[in-house]
Chains A and B, each alone.
Chain A
Amino acid sequence: MGKAAKIARRSFLIGSVALAGGVAFGTYMVRKPHDNPLANDLKAGEATFNPWVLISNETVTLIVPHADTGQGVASMQAALIAEELDIEFGQFETSFGVPSAAYYNTAMAGEAVPFMPTDKSFAAETTRSVMGGIIKLLGAQVTGGSSSTPDSYDKLRAAGASARETLKLAASQRTGVAVADLTTSGGAVVFPDGTSLAYTDLAADAAELEPVVDVPLRDPRTWRMIGKEMERLDVVAKSTGTMTYGIDLFMDGMINGTVRMNPRKGAPLNSFDATAAEAMKGVRKVLQITNGVAVLADNTWTAFQAADAIEYDWAEAPYPAEQDVHWDEVAASFTEDRLDSQWRNDGDIEAALEGAQIVEAEYRAPYVAHQPMEPLSAIAKVAEHRVDVWVTHQMPRFALQQISAITGHDETQIHLHNQYGGGSFGHRLEFENVKVAVEAANQMRGTPIKITFSREEDFAQDFTRQIGMSRSKGAVKDGKVIAHDLQIATVSSSRSQMGRLGQSVPGPDSQIVAGAWEQPYSIPNFRVRAYAVPELAPTSSWRSVGASSGGFFSDCALDELIHAAGADPLEERLRLMNDDVSRKVLEVVGEMSGWGSPLGPNRGRGVAFVLSFGVPVAEVVEVTNTDAGIKIDKVWVAADVGKVIDPVNFENLMQGGVIWGLGHAMNSEITYSDGMAEQSNFYTHEGMRLNQCPEIFVIGLENGSAVKGIGEPPVPPAAPALANAIFAATGQRIREMPFNKYIDFV
């Protein structure tokens, strides 16, 4: 893989980020830094050194532009700056900053190129570099793809180092003490005699200086913070009810409201009768918006009641009304004309399968909803020359475009105030909440309008995970897997998502086969083909995106082959593994779980390995088959992220990813009837609850050469590890999520 000749035949695609065609650029444009947004309204005496550090005579503010929806990236970003700036938690404030091209995400490039993540060849690295340049040019400020840590790791430490050296220079110029004799500690420049000057005292001096740049980063052996257990910046607020989420904000003169849009997503509202609703006490206004209505009232509850009291005539869905038809369309997509790309073709698969005893399997992954605990909301205020929007968003600069298109304001007049989010899992990459709040506020100019989605409306409007199927054929010989031909057909969540932004996605969608084609296995004959199912119901990025289905398909199919070969599931994966970092992850999970030790009757162990977002993750699930159903006893999980920034948060996110993967594999799907999602609240789309939660043991390894994120990679191996464990305990192969269609869980 990774030959330069192949690049020419494939155009590039950024998993979930737009790349409009026709961008022309030269080296100069790529090297040119974006303007520092902090410099735009700097007050007298305030110093900024780069887009991440702002110091006044009272406060040090660190800008943490990646959206924090619970994954802890505000703390992670602050820690990277603070490590080099020599300032402690508690000595600075953080801000999500303003949407700006300066906060473009370079790390997204790694996922966007058609090379194996383990491919470090010149062609692969060059292409990643070019993609990074394009993303910079577009100023793509994106939180997603587990890219916040890799994007921030060098950049934010450099920002901290530059600020530190500039502050030292300011202190030197003021006192005459040579820079070489100065040190920094606890938010202050320290002099040889032990006295110190706080950074805030040096702000006015530093503001007059050109920032010192290209400062060498410190030796990791001297780190105070990175790699050590930290107390997240938000943990006290989140443990005392004092954290303010977007849904908790109140503005002066604000009116509460809710929204009701056509539950046949994307279709219009033909007509409605709001007579009864408008007569209700406390109802202020019913406004027509695109595909629905906004209902404004004295409080959110009254708005919910009034929205229920309106009679709606909804137009028909622009996609098949019944779920069976969706599945039929997926099943009919394994055809030459729907072949999106052949991603891998090692050996000679046709010859290997010829005359062999074929092991065949067909797998399915359903639509699944995001449903973070904080329902969608947004506050908007539209004035003549200014728009303000308070919301949690992972692509704030794209939000500005959406807002501008509604109100006609120039993007420079639009102020988006990003908030801490109560979960996302990909939900806050979409714009429906922003658009409905702005549409309502645009009809009520001068008044802040808060739109809160009811849980039912959030379910109804959720753009789910892709639906898909796989068909695989394989062959074994002498106790070994020798051939695997994997075909995957899904709708393209990338094209669906970007299509709503008016952007096309050129070239094949790597997400259709994510978690499958790039697995570091040397199966002698190994082919992976992606088929694009035409758009059905709208879909979007769901925690781990394509790998959430692709990892299930590829690992379970491999497990079936290994069992057919009569080999040990862990040993055969290890034998096939061609990447040392990945092999170590598998070995460690084997040791942790006591793989191979005897289990009692009715018990079983399953192992799965999926490399996604550049992170190899291996999981072992242990289950007991009880009279009341399958009980998940324990899970062991190992991952290699190159460097664990904070072991506490790392463990929490690993456990959370496992729970997310297991819970939805067990019992969650979205199905359509009459064009509407049939599931409307948690009782029909539950995920995991505490009583079903196993013990989960986590190890983070640091053998990888690049630093990676951990929000998503633990998800893809969870479902196959559980399915493989159920097979080991019961002999029953479950080939479709959710598994509770086929088996009960305790």
Chain B
Amino acid sequence: MKLTVNGMTHDVDVSPDMPLLWVLRDELQITGVKYGCGIAQCGACTVHVDGVAVRSCQVPVGDLEGEVTTIEGLGSPDTLHAVQEAWIEHQVAQCGYCQSGQMMQAASLLSETASPTDEEIDDAMSGNLCRCGTYPRIRAAVKTAAAKMGS
């Protein structure tokens, strides 16, 4: 079956039950998307499907409708997305493993809500677990990214 990831079309020969997460990681070797829990408890696997954040561990590839964007497609070290710029400015990452999902969730939030309130940030971001405890920096970076995107 065919799927489009970060603007490129791929042909994969896998079971339609296989979660998008594992198609991306093991078949396409797109590893910015992370396996964390497999049951939508941590958000490390968050990608965009047509611009909306989804947990890729919960999307059977056979049910996928739309174009997939992963953290690599959001922006690269040379062409950073505003969210990534903000993440770098605030030096959010410690281990960094959850941060791809955090940034994809934040980018999705900001595309819908340009200037989220504290409560909206908490609501949108609380499904993304960070075991290192970078939450204060995540909050600050979301606000910085919102300001960047607004200007």
Contacts and interface: CB of A to CB of B under 8 A. Distances in A.
B62 interface: no
A688 B135 contact: yes
B53 interface: no
A262 B39 CA distance: 22
Contact of A373 (B97, B123, B138): B97
Interface string B115-128: 00000011101111
A652 B96 CA distance: 12
Contacts of B76: 240, 242
A251 to B, nearest CB: 12
Contact of A244 (B18, B31, B98): B31
Interface string B10-41: 00001100110110011101011111111101
Contacts of A652: 91, 94, 134, 137
A454 interface: yes
Interface residues of B, number: 62
Interface string B64-82: 0000001110111100100
A240 B80 contact: yes
Contacts of A375: 35-36
Given A236-B77, A240-B77, A656 B139 contact: no
A301 interface: yes
Given A652-B134, A689-B129, A696-B136, A421 B95 contact: yes
A239 B95 contact: no
Contact of A241 (B33, B35, B36, B42): B33
B132 interface: yes
A410 interface: no
A702 interface: no
A72 B131 contact: no
B107 interface: no
B94 A656 contact: yes
Nearest to A714: B133
A238 B93 contact: yes
B91 A232 contact: yes
Nearest to B79: A240
Nearest to B95: A70
Contact of A690 (B91, B96, B139): B139
B37 A70 contact: no
A688 B24 CA distance: 29
A659 interface: yes
A70 B94 contact: yes
B88 interface: yes
Contacts of B137: 652, 655
A691 interface: yes
Contact of B70 (A241, A256, A425, A456): A241
Given A241-B32, A373-B130, A693 B96 contact: no
B14 to A, nearest CB: 8
Interface string A236-275: 1111111111011010000010000000000000000000
A241 B72 contact: yes
A285 interface: no
Nearest to A687: B131
Contacts of A663: 133
B75 A240 contact: yes
Contacts of B33: 241
Interface in A414-446: 421-425
A231 B89 CA distance: 9
Contacts of B87: 239
A690 B126 contact: yes
B103 interface: yes
A686 B131 CA distance: 9
Contacts of B103: 239
A281 interface: yes
A658 to B, nearest CB: 7
Nearest to A422: B97
Contacts of B93: 70, 232, 234-235, 238-239
Nearest to B70: A241
Interface in A631-679: 648-649, 652-653, 655-660, 663
Interface string B83-119: 0100110011111111110010000000000000000
A657 B131 contact: no
A682 B129 contact: yes
B95 A69 contact: yes
Contacts of B22: 299-301
Contact of B91 (A231, A244, A373, A681): A231
Report which residue of B44, B84, B95, B122 has the largest number of chain A beta carbons within 10 angstroms of its beta carbon: B95
Contact of B18 (A299, A374, A649): A299
B131 A371 contact: yes
Contacts of B121: 690
Contacts of A425: 131
Nearest to A71: B94
A652 B95 CA distance: 11
A497 interface: no
A238 B37 contact: no
Nearest to B13: A298
Contact of B95 (A236, A302, A373): A373
Nearest to A697: B136
A70 B132 contact: yes
Contact of A240 (B41, B71, B122, B139): B71
A429 to B, nearest CB: 16
A28 interface: no
A455 interface: yes
A582 interface: no
B36 to A, nearest CB: 6
A690 B84 contact: no
A282 B75 CA distance: 34
Interface in A526-554: none
Interface string A272-302: 0000000001100000000000000011111
Given A243-B96, A657-B133, 16 more contacts: A70-B132, A234-B96, A241-B33, A242-B32, A248-B31, A302-B15, A372-B131, A373-B95, A374-B95, A422-B97, A424-B95, A425-B131, A656-B134, A659-B135, A682-B37, A691-B126
Give the 4 A-B CB pairs with smallest separation, nearest first: A241-B32, A70-B95, A422-B97, A659-B133
13 contacts: A240-B32, A241-B70, A256-B26, A373-B129, A374-B36, A375-B36, A422-B97, A423-B132, A649-B91, A652-B94, A681-B38, A681-B41, A683-B39
